[in-house]
Every structure is written in C-alpha cells, then in structure tokens.
Amino acid sequence: MDWWVLLLIQIAVIIAAPFAVAVLLGIDRIVTARMQNRVGPPVWQTLYDFFKLVGKKPMLLNRPQVIFAMLYLTFSVFAFVLFVFGLDLIIIFFASAAGSVFLVVGAFSVRSPYSHMGANRELLQITAYEPVLLLALLTIGIQGGSFVVTDLYKAGDLILTLPLVFVALIVVLVIKTQKSPYDVATAHQEIVSGPYVEYSGPYLAMTKLGHWFELALIFGIFTLFFNSDNLLVSALVKLLLIAVALLVAQIVDNATARLTKERMIKFTASFGIIAIVANYTVIYILQSAGVI
Amino acid sequence: MTLIEKSRVKSPWVLHFDTGSCNGCDIEILACLTPKYDVERFGILNKGNPKHADVLLVTGPVSKRAKERLKRLYEQMPSPKMVIACGTCACTGGVFHNCYNIEQGVDKVIPVDVYVPGCAAKPEAIIDGVIEALTKLQKLQEESHRKKEVK
Amino acid sequence: MSISLSEFEITFNNRKVWRARVIKKIAEDHSIAMDAGLLALLLVLVPVIMGFLSLAARKISVQKVVVGVTAAAMIILSLALFWEMYSSGTTELAFDADEIDVSGLVVPAALLITVLDFALMLYFMYIGVRWKNAVVVAFAVLQLVPLAVLEYLEFGHAISPSIVIDYLSVIMALVISIVGSIIIVYSLKYMEADKRQARFHSIMILFLGAMNGAVFSNNILWLFFFWEVTTLCCFLLIGHERTKEANESALRALVYTLGGGVAFAFAIVLIWLQMDTLSLEEVLDSGGVAAWSIAPVALMALAAFTKSAQVPFQSWLLGAMVAPTPVSALLHSSTMVKLGVYLLLRISPAIAWETSLMWLVASVGAISFLATSILAVMQTNAKRVLAYSTIGNLGLIVMCVGINTSFAISAALVLLIFHAISKALLFMTVGVVKHEAHTLNIEDMENLRCRLPFVAGAMLIGIFTIMLPPFGMFAGKWLIVEAAGSGFPVVLILLAIGSAVTALYYAKWMGRVMSVGATCELPDAIRSKLSGIYKLTLGALVACAVALSLLVFQVVQYLVNPYVALVFGEAPLGDFDLIIPLIVMLFIFGGVVLLTVLLVRIRPEIVSTAYLGGENFDYTLAGAYYDKRVPDAGVTYIFNFAATVVIVAMMMIAILTGVL
C-alpha cells in the first residue's frame, strides 16, 4: 500500500489508542462490578472522568511537578508512536522506562510526605517489573529473529513457542494496571494516591493520559504474540490475547488483597525471571534437537 | 451541554470527611459504596484526596478542632466543587445544637450546596442528596451558558 | 628549541585474515605523521614538566598560572592530535621513540623509562617497609625480580614500534586531557585552604602525563611503567590528608593495585618467553597460536580488574573516597580506573582467542554491575553512591569487552566517553556541595535547589545524562542487543536487573535534590554566592555532556567507528536509523521543558499546599531507608564469592590451555 495510506492508518491508531484503552478500562470496571454482584458504571465512565478532570481549575504546588508530568506524557506517547511505526523494541523500552522515571521524579519534586512515599514505592514497582519486561522483550526478539517490530509481525506464532513469557507479561500487566496484589504505589487506603496525590485537575488528566498510553504499549506488546495473513483472524486473535490477559489480571485482582512491596519484588524477580528463562531454555533445547 | 460539562455531572468523585460525628452517618455513607446500593453506577468514586475530589461529603457537627482542617480540605479542592452536609449534625448541629464545643453546622464554616437530613441519614437519602447536588451543578452550568448568550 | 624524532617509521599494516585492517594512505610528506607523534609526546611531556614546575613554585599565584597553562595546553594539544588524525585520514600511526633528539642532545627514552621503572619498584618496597606492610613489600619484590631477569635477558633488544597512536588512544587522550584539565582547574578553587597545595597540584598534573603515556605506549614495558606511575599517584593522592583513615585507604589501594601489577609483570615475562616480543601489536597479531598465549591475557585481564576495582577488588575504591573530591573525580571515576578498561579494550582481540575466557570476563563485568547497583541503593553518602556507580559502569564496559563483537566494542567506547564526562561532573558537584553546604549525605541535599541553584542544576543534568536514554548512556541499548545475540543468558539477566536498580538509586537522589516548595523562601545569609571557577568548570562539563549527547552521531562516526573498523573490518554503528529516535527524544525533552516553563505561569491563586490530611505543620521529609532492609555485608559477601569463583576459573582456563 502507499506510504501515505500507511501513515494515515498509523496516525489513526495513535489517536484512537487512548480511547480504546479507556473503553477497555471501562469494561474492566464493569466486569469487576459484576464479579462483585453490582451493576457498575457505564462503559464510557473513564472518558467522563478524564474530561471532567480536564475541565477543573488548575492547582499546582510548583512548576517542576508539571514539567515532569508533561515529560511522562510525551515519553509515553513517544514510546507508543515508535511502536506503531514499527521501530526497535529496545529503544521503545528505554523511552517507556524514561517516562516512568519522570513520573517518579515529578512526584518527588513536591514537598509532600504522601507523594514521596508513593514515589519511593513507585520506584520499587519499576524495579520489580522492568527486568521482567526487558527480558520478555529480549526473548521475543531472539525467538522472533529481530528486534524491529515490523519484522516481528511476520514471526507469526510466538504464543505457541513462548507461552511462559506471555504469563510473565501478565504479571507485568497486573503491576502496570495498578491491580492487587501489587498496587503498591497507589495503595489507596495506605497512602491515598501515591505519586499522584499532589496532581489535580488538568495535570492529573495529563498523568492519566500518559498511563493510558503506557497500557496501550503493553497491550501492543501482547499483540506481537500472534499474526496471520488473514486480517480478520489476526485481529480477532490479537483482541482475544488482550482480553485473556486482562481477564486473568482481573480475576487475580478481585481474588487477592494487597501484598507488601518486598513480596512484590521477590515474586516478580523469582517467578517472572524463572518463567522466562525456563521458556527460553526449553525452546533452545528443542530447537537444537531439531524438534521445532 | 458541552462534553466537559456533561462529564462533570457524570463523574463526581467524592471526599468524605468526618468532623466529629458519632460515625452513624459515616457507616451509612460506606453502605452506599457496597453492592447493595452501588453508587459507582453514577460514576461516584471514593477518593481520599481533596485534590482529586469534586464533592465533599461532610458528617458530624463541626468540632472546634475539625473546623481548621475542614477549611483547609475545602481550599485544597479545585473548583468546580459541591459540598453536601450529611446528617442533621452537619446541617444544624443536630442533637448537639447549642453545645459550646462545636460550630453549629457545616454551613457556618464552608458554603454548603445540599443538606441531607436524618440521624443517621439513610443511604437512599444520601444518594438522593448527591443526585440533587449534580442536578444543581447542571442548572448552574446552564445558567452560566444563558448568561453568556445574553451577553 | 626543537624536538624531533630520530629514527621514525610509518608502518602500513597488512595483517592476517582474522583481523582485517583498513589500509589508509597518507601523504608522501611525512610531516603529518611527525606532527601527530610530536603532539603525543608533548601530551606526555608537558604535564610532566609542568608538574615539576608546580612543585618547585612556592607561591600560590604561580601555581595557579602553571595549572591554568597546563590545562589550556592539554586541551589544545589533544584536540590538535584528533584534528591531525582526522584530517590526514589515518587510522593508525606507529613510531619508535626509543631515543629522542632534542636539538642535538639525544635523550635515551627507553633507558630512562627502564631506570625510572626500577626506581619506582624500589620506592614501593620502601613504602612497604616504612608503613610496615609486608604485602606491599612482597608485591614490589614479586614485580622487581621477574622484570630484572627480563631486562638482563633482553638488554639492548629494541622493541619496535614503541608508540602507536590509533583512535582508541585518541579517545582516551581526549578524555584524559579535556576532563582532566577541567578537574585540575576546579581543584585550584577546591584546595584553596589546603596547606600542601603545591604537592597536590603537581601530582595531579604529573598523573595526567602518566595516563597519556600509558595510552600511547605499544612497548608493554612502557605501558607497565606508566601503569605503576598511576598507582603511585593514586597512593600519594589518597593519602594526601594524612589522617589515619586516609593512610589506611591509601595502603589498601596500593596493595590491590600492586597485586594487579604483579599479575601484569608475570604476564609480561610469559609473553617474552612465549612470543619473544614485547610489542603489543605483535602479541595481538600472533593469533594466539603460541602454547601459553592465553595465560598472559588472563593475567592482564586480572590486572585490569584490580585497576578498575571490579568485584571482588572493589573495596579499595570505596576506601579511596576519603580523598579530596578532585582526586575522586579525576582518578577514581574518569581516568585512572578507565586505564584498566583501556587495557582490556586494547587486548580485546586477544580475549577473543578463547571463548570461555570471553564468557568469564563478561561474567565479572555483569557481577560487578549487579553487585554495585544493589549496594548503591543502600548508601546515603553521595561519594559512596558515585563510587559504586563508577564500578558498575566499568562493569558494563568489561561486559562489552567480554562479548567482543563489533557492536559491543562500539558500545564500550561510547560508554567510556560519556561516563567519564558525567561522572566527573557529578563528583565535582558533590564536592561543591561538601564545601558550601558541609554535607555529603544525600538526605541533607533537600533544599539544594534554593541554596545552590547552579550546582543543583548541574547535578540534575549529570544524573540525567548518566541514567536516561535521550542522553549519552543509550550505548547500553547496543550492549543489551549484543548480549542478547551472543548467547550469554546469565549475563543478560544480571544486566536487566542491574539496570532497573540503577534507575532506583539515581531517581531517589534526583528526587531528594528536586523537592522544594513553589518559591524559595530562604534568608539571603544562607544563599551562597558561587565562585567563578566553580561556575566555569561545572558549566564546561555540563556543556560537554549536553553537546556530546546532541552530537552523538558525530562522536560515533569520527571517534568510535575508525577504531572499530580497524579491529573488526566493519563499523556497525553507521546506521543512522538507530540514532534518530534518540536524538528525537532529546529534542522532545528539551522542547517539553521549555514549553512548560514558558506556558505555566505560577499565579498565587493556583498555588496550593501539600495534602497532609487537612493538617498544617512543619515537617522534614525522610528518605526511604534501604540500608535497614538488606545487609550491606551479606550482599557484598555473596557477590565477592561469585566473582572470586569466576576469576579462579579464569586462571584455571589460562593454565589448562597452556598445559594441554
């Protein structure tokens, strides 16, 4: 297809992504509510929340707080844009990691006890999930034969060869979507809102948007696990993968209480890394033996 | 109604503050969040942080100590914001009216939009009060629109 | 007075197939080669002469002039050397400098160096005797005896060429001269109140000359001599304060680095016995066919590990933090410890002779990186955090050398350049904070943005450039790609965990410096006025860091690629696509900061207070205390043990390949 058609499609995806993630999160809230025997909010609720925040009168503590929130937003968007344009996974990872750190520094830059505690916990969360995410991306790249996303789309059936990596990425998804048992940073009952506590109105909307783009990236990485030439089958299976991942995260969320940050690190470090290493070893052995 | 104005009505985030209440009204407010009454279907979320909240639910007659804190929390909420006084203690001082240790009701400290009477106020009444506050917000927005059109 | 080289030789090198070289023509007129050689010699001699001048000068003003002149001269000379190499298109120049003709007076350089070498070893023995340290004496003897035997056997045998200038040397010379010059100017102001300034400045300047000598030497004995001179300078400078702690740390540093020197001496003797040459080039070209060729490589790697304070040898670098901050900035972050990784980079073709050796070297780097990342989280003393961070980054470079592909070596060189600048900047800011705010504790740096805004800004830029992708350390990206492709999975895991933990301790520090209210309400008495020299030197390094980050493509193209092409025959980092996203990120960063600063006006009505549950009281913000959670000693013990196992394995491989 022509380059400008592809560009239009890519821009459309980038603009539609936060809306899609918001709707997904809305569905998430409805499913949680139904699990808890409630009715739940309408599907568009997250979007209503977002626009309400945009319409509030701005209130801030100091300027660096806003600067870092903006940096978090732009780097999350940039990482997602790089992903949609099909560039190198490792650079995408670095951009996303930089964004997360900017959020933390923004939370540190206000003199607020809850904010600092939240920022420290957020740092620990990052320490917990980043190695797993990086190793997962590397395994995907090694198995798929290239680190460039456009090449990985031709790889095809990574879900069959890398199932444990998929499971490890679900653990990362649990932490990223701030779900129990690892919603350590934004532990509502303990530290109110963690790193987001001093953000309000439009600035909180900025951080929310950044968070949606982060989630869009993770969901995008889930879509790498399957591809087929038939566009309809491809789209359906990709959606199915995202739905399964989110559903598992949901069930875990509703079934567990919050755990301590030490357990978070221990669990993700041991389970996440061991799962990926085990997967890679099995594949390596099978490939050298010529089975696959 | 613009998108932002509709969203304000559709997504009121609540901050609950107890200024010396016997906890009766607080328990009823908590009951609203349970599956039986389920206020999340109106988009209501209980946020503990004034900077994230739109609606301030106050219970209790405002004791002298709580007065300063209540004012500060109100100031830390970004506008547009609504204040709902839950229970008769919050409305007029209730059972403790004319006692020396309290302000006689929330409206002596901060401006109140909706009064929900009752001792303790029923969850249905509290939900009704929140809806009343949202209706009031909607009317205020429509009025400001009309004023702009007149100009 | 004119200085000329008698008996020079320009060699074009046709090498064997395993190590393809790019042959470049230079003009028939040999003046270009001579200019480069001249510049190299000057880069070594000028600091030495100026160092002695500074020692002789008693007046402070004269010393200041000497230091200033040296700094300017070094910067100009190193840039001129780079320009010569670049404009002539050569990638490698080789000279003999055994005898230097100074307007008719012939200076026998080779003889001079040999004599000084033995004098140095005897001085080490004297130090050991004076401080009653038997280990130092033993190490000095262990170095002296084999080398004496070697000199006796090979006396009169000329090693040719004795100086080789290639882009690795040029990169090191640029780093040493430019960063070093900025630091010695900084130390003029920093050591103002010190009573033994003359000694301090002269040793610092002399040290720069020794470093330059080391990176230009092709004769292994000369390299060894300059190596030991840097050891001596390190010992003298750490012990500058003459407190009990300083003396102990200096002795510990001496013990470890002399131990490395012993390994180096044995390596030299083995090379002589096996390959009958003392020229590094010939050793590397030999292709590892001689029977005992792996053993000297392993021993030199061991020497490099002690010099670069890799785990398990890291305790000397931690102890060395008692030295004045310019010493930490110069020796222990940007130059002397880089000499160890320089040696590893130099012998990297030889490490490739044995795959298990590659794997083991990479493991030591990875273990150092992870160990020091975890240990840095638990520190609150800023200099200790920086020391651990230095060892970690050197571990990354060592890992690159172990992986030993063209990508990895390119990544190592980029890491080397950017780390030197950023770390020196950070040490210097910490030094200023120590002088002005009298604290080295990160927990106390809370109001830095108000008290010392310039220093706080420099510190933040330093941390940004070390930690975040749009700036220099993106070389880690290639490192990871290479580690993924090389089949060393354990290394990969350590790398992934280590890089996440690195972000943890730097972000924690950055947060501490950042946190302040909307406006600074501090009485003017506390606001310090920063000295001009501090502003000049800190500003210069900030400018370098930011400029080089913007020009990273040029850095790769003109500095890194020529050397990698020389060694591997291909320069993989020519791909513009890889660097564009990072430059874009840099512009996004700058753009967003600028836009937000311009658009967000702080009107009093939108400024609020922190959420404290409705309360309003004075509070101090405490940091997260990780040191209570995980014991420092236990973690150190585990990693020391792991690294020792790896090094023992390395030595066993060395012996086994020789015997079998």
Residue C299, CA distances (Å) to C85, C258, C502 in order: 32, 13, 30
Q: How does DSSP assign B118-151, residue by residue?
A: -TTPPHHHHHHHHHHHHHHHHHHHHHHHHHHHH-
The tens digit of pLDDT for each residue in C531-548 reads: 888 889 999 999 998 888
In the predicted model, is pLDDT for residue C304 greater than 70? Answer: yes
The tens digit of pLDDT for each residue in C57-103 reads: 778 888 888 888 889 989 988 898 888 888 877 777 777 766 666 55
Question: Is A52–B51 a contact, with Cβ atoms under 8 angstroms apart?
Answer: no
Q: How many CA atoms does the CB half-sphere of A177 hold within 13 Å?
A: 28
Q: What is the DSSP letter of B116?
A: E
C616 lies within 8 A of chain B by CB: yes
The tens digit of pLDDT for each residue in B33-49 reads: 888 998 999 999 998 88
Which of C507, C600, C607 minimises the CB distance to A104? Answer: C507
pTM assigned to the model: 0.90
Residues of C in contact with A277 (CB under 8 A): 489, 493
User: Is the sign of the CA dihedral C264, C266, C267, C271 positive or negative?
Assistant: positive
Task: State the total domains in chain A.
Answer: 1
Instruction: Report chain A residues touching chain B, CB-CB < 8 A.
Output: 29, 33, 36-42, 45, 47-52, 54-59, 188-189, 192-193, 196-201, 204
Residues of B in contact with A55 (CB under 8 A): 4-5, 7-8, 80
The mean pLDDT value for A187-205 works out to 86
Return the residue of C nearest to B78 by Cα: C606
Question: Is B11–A55 a contact, with Cβ atoms under 8 angstroms apart?
Answer: no
Return the residue of A nearest to B8 by Cα: A52
Residues of B in contact with C609 (CB under 8 A): 72, 76
The tens digit of pLDDT for each residue in C263-280 reads: 999 999 988 888 888 888
Contact C344, C304 (CB under 8 A): yes
Q: Give me the pLDDT at residue C606, please.
A: 82
Can you give the residue range of the structural domain that contains A51?
Answer: 3-289
Q: What is the longest distance spanned by two Cα atoms in chain A?
A: 65
> Which pLDDT band, with edges at 50, 70 and 90, does C527 fall under?
low
Mean per-residue pLDDT over chain A, rounded: 89
Which of B17, B50, B68 minimises the CB distance to C611? Answer: B50
Smallest CA–CA separation between B88 and chain A, in Å? 28
The mean pLDDT value for C152-166 works out to 76
Q: Give me the pLDDT at residue C18, please.
A: 22
Residues of C in contact with B49 (CB under 8 A): 611
> Which pLDDT band, with edges at 50, 70 and 90, does C407 fall under?
confident
In the predicted model, is pLDDT for residue A292 greater than 70? Answer: no
What letter represents residue A114's amino acid? Y
Which of C492, C503, C517 minimises the CB distance to A97? Answer: C503
Q: Which CATH class is domain B8-150?
A: alpha beta
Q: In Å, how far from its chain's centre is CA C496?
A: 23
Smallest CA–CA separation between A204 and chain B, in Å? 8
In the predicted model, is pLDDT for residue C104 greater than 60? Answer: no
Question: Is C609–B72 a contact, with Cβ atoms under 8 angstroms apart?
Answer: yes
In the predicted model, is pLDDT for residue A212 greater than 60? Answer: yes
Query: C340: helix, coil or strand?
Result: helix
The tens digit of pLDDT for each residue in C430-460 reads: 999 998 888 888 888 887 887 888 898 899 9
Placement of tokens 């001689």 in the chain: C290
Residues of A in contact with B141 (CB under 8 A): none
The mean pLDDT value for A3-32 works out to 93
Residues of C in contact with A59 (CB under 8 A): 606-608
The tens digit of pLDDT for each residue in C242-268 reads: 899 999 999 999 999 999 999 999 999
Smallest CA–CA separation between B146 and chain A, in Å? 19
> Which pLDDT band, with edges at 50, 70 and 90, does C194 fall under?
confident
Return the residue of C nearest to A83 by Cα: C581
Interface test with A, best of C471, C513, C514 (most A CBs within 10 A): C514
C588 lies within 8 A of chain A by CB: yes
Smallest CA–CA separation between B87 and chain A, in Å? 25
- Lowest-confidence pick of A111-115, C37-41, C61-65, C508-512: C37-41
Contact A135, A276 (CB under 8 A): yes
C651 lies within 8 A of chain A by CB: no
Domain parsing of chain B, residue ranges: 8-150
> Which pLDDT band, with edges at 50, 70 and 90, does A133 fall under?
very high
Tens of pLDDT, residue by residue, chain B (151 residues): 688 888 999 999 999 999 999 999 999 999 998 889 989 999 999 988 899 999 999 999 999 999 999 999 999 999 889 999 999 999 999 899 999 999 888 999 999 999 999 998 999 999 999 999 999 999 998 888 888 887 6
Contact C261, C139 (CB under 8 A): yes
Neighbours of chain C (3+ CB pairs under 8 A): A, B
Neighbours of chain B (3+ CB pairs under 8 A): A, C
Return the residue of C nearest to A126 by Cα: C500
Size of interface A-C (CB pairs under 8 A): 165
φ, ψ (nearest 5 deg) of residue C279:
-100, 125
Residues of A in contact with B76 (CB under 8 A): 59
> Which pLDDT band, with edges at 50, 70 and 90, does C27 fall under?
very low
Interface test with C, best of B63, B72, B75, B77 (most C CBs within 10 A): B72
Of residues C537 and A186, more confidently modeled: C537
Question: Is C606–A74 a contact, with Cβ atoms under 8 angstroms apart?
Answer: no
Interface test with C, best of A59, A67, A94 (most C CBs within 10 A): A94
Of residues A284 and B77, more confidently modeled: B77
Query: C381: helix, coil or strand?
Result: strand
Those residues whose C-beta lies under 8 Å from the C-beta of residue A65, and which sit 6 or more positions away, are A106, A109, A110, A198, A199, A203
Question: Is A75–C585 a contact, with Cβ atoms under 8 angstroms apart?
Answer: yes
Q: Give me the pLDDT at residue A44, please.
A: 93
* Assembly ipTM: 0.91
- CB count, 10 Å around CB of C60? 13
Return the residue of B nearest to C610 by Cα: B76
Smallest CA–CA separation between B73 and chain A, in Å? 13
Question: Is C614–B75 a contact, with Cβ atoms under 8 angstroms apart?
Answer: no
Residue A143, CA distances (Å) to A161, A163, A186, A272 in order: 8, 12, 35, 18
Question: Is C496–A66 a contact, with Cβ atoms under 8 angstroms apart?
Answer: no
Q: Give me the pLDDT at residue C28, please.
A: 33
Residue C231, CA distances (Å) to C139, C235, C332 in order: 13, 6, 12
Return the residue of C nearest to A112 by Cα: C610
Q: How does DSSP assign C394-453, residue by residue?
A: HHHHHHHHHH-SHHHHHHHHHHHHHHHHHHHHHHHHHHHHHHHH---BGGG-TTHHHH-H
Contact C108, C98 (CB under 8 A): yes
Q: How does DSSP assign C592-659, residue by residue?
A: HHHHHHHH----GGGB----STT-----------GGGTS-HHHHHHHHHHHHHHHHHHHHHHHHHHHH
Residues of C in contact with B76 (CB under 8 A): 608-609, 611
Residues of C in contact with A97 (CB under 8 A): 469, 503
Those residues whose C-beta lies under 8 Å from the C-beta of residue C145, and which sit 6 or more positions away, are none
Interface test with B, best of C603, C605, C607, C608 (most B CBs within 10 A): C608
Q: How does DSSP assign C67-103, residue by residue?
A: HHHHHHHHHHHHHHHHHHHHHHT-SEEEE--SSEEET
> Which pLDDT band, with edges at 50, 70 and 90, does C476 fall under?
low
> Which pLDDT band, with edges at 50, 70 and 90, does C22 fall under?
very low
Return the residue of A nearest to B42 by Cα: A41
Interface test with C, best of B16, B51, B74, B76 (most C CBs within 10 A): B76
Q: How does DSSP assign C535-550, residue by residue?
A: HHHHHHHHHHHHHHHH
Size of interface B-C (CB pairs under 8 A): 20
Q: Give me the pLDDT at residue C154, please.
A: 74
Query: C204: helix, coil or strand?
Result: helix
Beta strands at B55-59 and C105-107: parallel, antiparallel or unpaired? unpaired
- Lowest-confidence pick of A193-197, C8-12, C95-99, C203-207: C8-12
